[in-house]
Amino acid sequence: MPDSKPIVLKAGDDAPSFSLVSDSGETIDLQSFHGKNNVVLYFYPKDSTPGCTIEACEFRDASADLNKYDTVVLGLSKDSIKSHQRFIEKQGLNFPLLSDPEAEVCSAYGVFKLKKNYGREYMGIERSTFIIGKNGKIVQAYYGVKVKGHAADVLSVVQGI
Residues marked as catalytic: 52
Cβ-count burial 23-52 (b if 16+ within 10 Å, e if not): beeeebebeebbeebbbbbbbbbebeeeeb
Task: Report which of 158, 132, 127 is spatially closest to residue 142, judged by C-alpha positions.
Answer: 127
Half-sphere exposure of 27 (CA within 13 A, CB side): 4
SS3 at position 139 = strand
